[in-house]
Structure 1
Amino acid sequence: MDISAVANGIDLEAQGITPDRQIPPLARREQVTIDSYDLATIRIDAIGPARGTALLVPGYTSSADTFNCILEPLARRGYNVVSFSQRGQQLSQGPSDVSEYSLERLGADIHELITTMNLGPRVHLLGHSFGGVVSIEAVLQKPEAFASLTMWNSGPECMGGDIESQRHALLEYGPRAFYLSTRIAAGLDPDADIKGELNLVEQYYYDRLMGTNPAQLEAGITILANQVNKTAQLKATGVPVLVSHGANDDAWPIPMQREMAEELEADYWVIAHAGHSAHADRSHTSAELLATFWDEH
């Protein structure tokens, strides 16, 4: 198979193929029990000799399925790859107590997952968006567990923008209010769900949000709103870091991500013609970039 022919996740969505249906045939869905909660995982083994193992951490309101579009090309580059839904995210169980979603607890979940799934001794960790915030915490807790860290469209401190208004809407009125705020910001009909007018892909993302534990949503957005810059501590660990984002990333300000890379003396790669979910926008390019960085470490 020529992996350069791999379709972009976003192009598959344009055909009505939702991220959950983009899972490659060689991948398998599993569950792992962490802190008494069953977390959903997706695992694919390296095709040919294994060069290493990567663990992919999804962002806010996301799930393990977000990375399906890059699993097979990464496996063909020789990597065992695992993605998972964090506690409380769609497909995974989670507590209803907001306090049980502390950043420290989310970071500890990563280490317990690595141990339970026997992924070690040294894992390439990737955190997308909010997953990057959690991944920094995991690295600071036990840096020797990781061969590298990739901050994938993720930044070092509060992203600003609409996050406070979105947090207010969520806390005051619940998950649908958060959904409405994002629909309105995108210039889309906020009542399309009530009217039954969501297309297949829109319905998938709506169901993913509504399938997330409200306590996880509240805790996650609070962590994002109060994110503290730990770049200096991260640099002190000595773990190799890649900072990468789409050229059109509209989450963390791009200068903020670039400055983080400079302070870390990290590799810094910008993916042209891609937005906040660069792996979906340019799947083959993203997989090649990641595998190249992992090969070097």
Structure 2
Amino acid sequence: MSTPRFLELPPVVRRTTLRTTRGEFAVLEALPVGEPERQPALLVPGYTGSKEDFLGILQTLTRVGRRVVAMDMRGQYETPGTPDDPDAYRIAALGADILAVAERLGPEPVHLVGHSFGGLVTREAVLAEPTAVASFTLMSSGPGAITGRSAERATMLRDALGVLSMNDVWEIKLGPDAVAAGQPGPVISFLRGRSLRTCPRGLIEMAGELTTAPDKVEDLCKVCDDADLPIMVLFGEDDDAWDPRVQAAMADKLDAVRVVIPGAAHSPAWEAPETTAHALTDFWNSAERR
């Protein structure tokens, strides 16, 4: 199957694999023209997502001389899963994976970004090893477990995968939902391929983590204060996962930089890529000046 045009990589971006102490991880690596002059950045997607969720911002993020890597977490799309080890998908274990990837991007600390469920995972990495991180951005993520309709969707997917194949779930639910949302054909083709290559065990276990994760804002406050770690909370003004008011309150508790992306919902990297990329670059540059 040919690559959908919307997934064609910019000249500065390549698909590759990073080999770490915790296994191999599929990534999109964006390299600046010339030698990187700034600290690298690592972008982590959310539940049911993949590295391609950041494709719209990668080229812009390299323009100041920065290496930027977006990854598939364990079991997501092109990263192998561990279907016989449900504990590998616990948030703490996934956080350890993030640290292993960050170590490969070093030796300097990385600017770490976690989108949605990826925010809960990257938070574990920060809590475990704050010195590995130059700055931390929670993108469209919350203080703890997701609730409301998003939690219901995650639970329904988890339950369906307990009795159906991924192909059946796509045909019965995910595919029709994509069509109803008005997604164009190439996007639907990619989403189908991504779904069928994602580890079902990973989706089942991650759904449990997503819907039960405790609020660790106080823990994050202490670690970031002790490590003098810059933190940003970035979200779309119309986010339909974690309520924007909840994310704003979290930012206040963390004494974090707060950025609200106009015209965006839960995926600002796709819905407002230039605005999102510039907000990240400004924050990262400010963190490095510190």
Question: TM (normalized to structure 1)?
Answer: 0.84
- Give the gaps of 5 or more residues in structure 1: 1-15
Q: What letter matches 2:130 in structure 1? A: P
The CA distance in 2 between the partners of 1:36 and 1:242, in whole Å, is: 28
SS at match of 2:53: helix
Contact 1:163 1:225 in 2 (8 A): no
Is 2:180 the counterpart of 1:188?
A: yes
Query: What is the CA distance between 1:210 and its match in structure 2?
Result: 2.1
- CA distance 1:274–1:34, shift in 2 (3 Å): same
**Aligned twin of 1:27:** 13
Q: Are 2:99 and 1:111 equivalent residues in the alignment?
A: yes
Secondary structure of the 2:17 match is strand
Q: 2:160 maps to what in 1?
A: 173
Q: Please give the secondary structure, in 1, of the residue aligned with 2:82.
A: coil
Spell out, residue by residue over 1:35-64, the C-alpha distance to the aligned partner (whole angstroms, 9 max, x if none): 564210111223355122100001111111
Task: Report 1:19-58 matches (<5 A).
Answer: 20-21=7-8, 23-34=9-20, 37-47=23-33, 50-58=37-45
Shift of 1:249: 1.2
C-alpha distance in structure 1 between counterparts of 2:274 and 2:171, whole Å: 30
Identify if the C-alpha distance between structure 1 residues 179 and 87 changes in structure 2 by more than 3 Å, giving closer, same or farther: farther
One of 261, 281, 290 as aligned partner of 1:291: 281
TM-score (norm. length: structure 2): 0.86
Corresponding residue for residue 150 of structure 1: 137
Identity %: 33
Structure 2 unaligned spans of 5+: none
Query: Equivalences for 1:97-108 in 2 at 5 Å?
Result: 97-108=85-96
- The one-letter code sitting in structure 2 at the alignment partner of 1:134 is V
Structure 1 position 224 matched with structure 2 position 214: no
Name the CA distance, whole Å, in 2 between partners of 1:256 and 1:17: 36
Matches of 2:123 and 2:57 in 1, distance apart? 22
Alignment match, 2:47: 60
Q: CA deviation at 1:230?
A: 0.6
> What root-mean-square deviation, in Å, do the aligned CA atoms of Structure 1 and Structure 2 show?
2.4
1:5 alignment counterpart: none
Distance 1:164 1:42, change over 3 A: closer
Counting matched residue pairs gives 273
Q: Which amino acid in the other structure matches residue 27 of structure 1?
A: V
Counterpart AA for 1:110: I
Q: Structure 2 vs 1, CA of residues 32 and 274 (structure 1 numbering), >3 Å: closer, same or farther?
A: same
1:17–1:201: 8 Å Cα contact kept in structure 2? no
For residues 201-220 of structure 1, the aligned pairs below 5 Å read 201-220=187-206
Task: Measure, in 2, the Cα distance between the counterparts of 1:54 and 1:171.
Answer: 31
- For the residue of structure 2 that corresponds to 1:162, the secondary structure is helix
Task: Say whether the 8 Å CA contact 2:138–2:232 is kept in structure 1.
Answer: yes
Which of 227-236 and 167-176 deviates more? Answer: 167-176
Name the SS for the 1:90 alignment partner.
coil
1:266 maps to: 256
The one-letter code of the counterpart of 2:180 is L
CA shift at 1:202, angstroms?
1.4
1: CA distance, partners of 2:250 / 2:236: 15
Shift of 1:172: 3.1
